[in-house]
Amino acid sequence: MTTPPLLTLSGLTKAYPGVVANDDVSLTITPGEVHALLGENGAGKSTLVKMIYGLVKPDSGTMQMHGAAFHPNEPRAARAAGVGMVFQHFSLFDALSVAENIALGMEDAPKLGTLSKQIRDVSEAYGLPLSPDRIVGDLSAGERQRVEIIRCLLQDPKLLVMDEPTSVLTPQEVEILFKTLRKLSAEGTAILYISHKLEEIRSLCDSATILRLGKVVGHCTPSETSARDMAEMMVGSMLKTPLRTGKTQGDVLLDLQGLNAKSPSAFGMPLRDISVQVRAGEVLGIGGVAGNGQDELLAALSGENLSDPGMILFKGSDIGQLGPIARRSLGVLAAPEERLGHAAAPDMTLTENAMLTGAVREKLERRGMLNWPAATRFAERIIRKFDVRTPGPGNAARSLSGGNLQKFVIGREVMQRPEVLVVNQPTWGVDASAAASIRQALLDLADNGAAVIVISQDLDELMEISDRFAALNEGRLSEPRPAQGLSVDEIGLMMGGAHGMEVAHV
């Protein structure tokens, strides 16, 4: 490569009390290059990109942009130099529209009408369907991400940093995104792409830098390196693929008979005539594009939203009218997608969050009085069993990283020995080894005779662990089919084909 580099990092070091987040990290990105940054949670990827984006100041080392020294003091300076960033956690206001949210992030925003037109233009040019007038609170996670991406694209960046952008997208949506990114790359925009989905990186990225415990442990050309080799460089050891031991399926535990549910919010998705049976020992994988009824299905099964009589049967008896506590005591448990604010209360401690769903089955309460020491012990057991990295159960849920909190949330339900467990996006934004351990826990649960429903947008995950696969499309569930031997095309058709793309060409 003879092109002069766009961005050069040399010897960047950043230490926090007790931990060196980045230790002598160097890398080079040329214009138009798609550069992957690989590493487990806590490997220092976030700290590194935060230094590039001006959120964190390095202790030592230098950065150069177009050959000139580059020390962004704040994100504004980084943006002015042409760095755009799409964060893994969205910073959007639920009550405002897409256009208003984008205007808030801009230095000198044009009038809303003009901006809406720009948003439409960019979203069509790059095939990211998004209506500027919709209220963000009613958007799915996938759609929210498009808002963040378009927000960056409007600023015409020279370097686009993307933190795990595909974790909420379907194969078709990922293809759209990759087209967008390849188009940007062809136009000369460099992309720094953080992910742990190795196949994606192999198909998209020109080069990769692998971080482990804050240090660069290797560079490679992803298209010429196997996913397994990259994963092992990342983890520093052999990777365990989830495996199942037995394959005995028992009685029908959960029986949905024509489940209909009105949408709780104006822009949500109603559930339409969903019928499916899940047996003991079985994992049913449910795929589908975000916003096609996943949240509503979980709410109907967890008991947050009640259903009409005769629609949801557990071991033959009607539970559609029971609330979450009654369902839990029967053994029907759930873990929603949104970790912060839905599955867990962000400002409450892990002990309190263990109490949140564990009170009944773990006998943490007697006649309404709560047994806090027992809740602490329960939280400690989850932390130990699921390897949750935190100083202790007295820490607030929001102080944990996404992957660790996810391990805690899934662990909390798995530890309660459910008979039916419904999880939505169990490994969203979780690194490879943590995701593997969560999947293994779900498989072990099924092997021990539970019926497990995994709702996910990660098809690789669903193919890896499901016995049968079905897809949600506009609130309807397709006929479940054995997961083994399903082709990507067949899956795509079950999901309603190129669902997300239709809007873009209208």
Partner 1 sequence: MIRLEKRPQASQTFSWAAPVLAVLATMVFGGLLFAALGKDPLASIETIFWQPLFGDFAFYYRPQLLIKGAPLVLIAIGLSLGFKAGIWNIGAEGQYIMGAIFGAATGLAFYPTESFLIFPLMILAGALGGWIWAMIPALLKVKFGTNEILVSLMLVYVAEQFLASMALGLLKNPEGFGFPGSRNLQQYGSAHNAELITGSGMHWGVVAALIAVIFAYMLLARHRLGFAIRVTGEAPRAAKFSGVNPTRLVLFCMGMSGLLAGLAGMFEVAGPSGQITIDFNVGYGFTAIIVAFLGRLHPIGILLAGGLMALTYIGGDIAQSQLGLPAAAIQVFQGMLLFFLLAFDLFTNYRLRLGRAEAA
> What residue ranges bind partner 1 (CB under 8 A)?
16, 50, 55-57, 73-74, 302-304, 323-325, 328, 334, 336, 338, 341-348, 352, 355-357, 359, 365, 368-370, 372, 395-396, 398-399
Select 58 or 132, whichever has its Cβ closest to partner 1. 58
One-letter amino acid at 431 equals: D
Buried b (16+ CB within 10 A) or exposed e, 15-53: eeeeebbbbebebbbbbbbbbbbbbbbbbbbbbbbbbbb
One-letter amino acid at 90 equals: F
CB of residue 437 to partner 1, shortest distance in Å: 24
Cα angle value 442/434/399 (rounded, 5°): 110
Contacts of 252 (CB under 8 A, 6+ apart): 277, 278, 279
Name the one residue in this structure whose structure tokens are 């030592």: 60
What are the residues facing 472 on neighbouring strands? 477
3-state SS, residue 34: strand
Select 352 or 464, whichever has its Cβ closest to partner 1. 352
The DSSP H or E segment spanning 135 is none
CB of residue 393 to partner 1, shortest distance in Å: 13
Main-chain phi, psi angles of 175, to 5 degrees: -60, -45
Select 17 or 309, whichever has its Cβ closest to partner 1. 17
The C-alpha atoms of residue 352 and residue 375 are separated, in whole angstroms, by: 7
CB of residue 6 to partner 1, shortest distance in Å: 24
Main-chain phi, psi angles of 36, to 5 degrees: -90, 140
CB of residue 445 to partner 1, shortest distance in Å: 20
Q: Would you list the DSSP string of 421-445?
A: EEEESTTTT--HHHHHHHHHHHHHH
- Angle separating helix axes 372-385 and 350-358, nearest 10 degrees: 100
CB of residue 296 to partner 1, shortest distance in Å: 14
CB of residue 226 to partner 1, shortest distance in Å: 35
CB of residue 281 to partner 1, shortest distance in Å: 26
Select 143 or 337, whichever has its Cβ closest to partner 1. 337
Select 218 or 324, whichever has its Cβ closest to partner 1. 324
Select 102 or 344, whichever has its Cβ closest to partner 1. 344
* Cβ(428)–Cβ(340) below 8 Å: no
3-state SS, residue 334: strand
CB of residue 326 to partner 1, shortest distance in Å: 8
CB of residue 407 to partner 1, shortest distance in Å: 17
Select 343 or 454, whichever has its Cβ closest to partner 1. 343
CB of residue 324 to partner 1, shortest distance in Å: 4
Select 354 or 471, whichever has its Cβ closest to partner 1. 354
Look up residue 210 and give its two tokens. Answer: 């692998």
Select 313 or 396, whichever has its Cβ closest to partner 1. 396
* Cβ(398)–Cβ(310) below 8 Å: no
| CB-count exposure of residue 408 (10 Å: 0-12, 13-18, 19+) | buried
CB of residue 54 to partner 1, shortest distance in Å: 10
The C-alpha atoms of residue 131 and residue 221 are separated, in whole angstroms, by: 37
Select 168 or 375, whichever has its Cβ closest to partner 1. 375
Contacts of 326 (CB under 8 A, 6+ apart): 303, 319
Work out the end-to-end distance of the chain between its first and last CA atoms, rounded to an integer number of angstroms. Answer: 41
Select 309 or 368, whichever has its Cβ closest to partner 1. 368
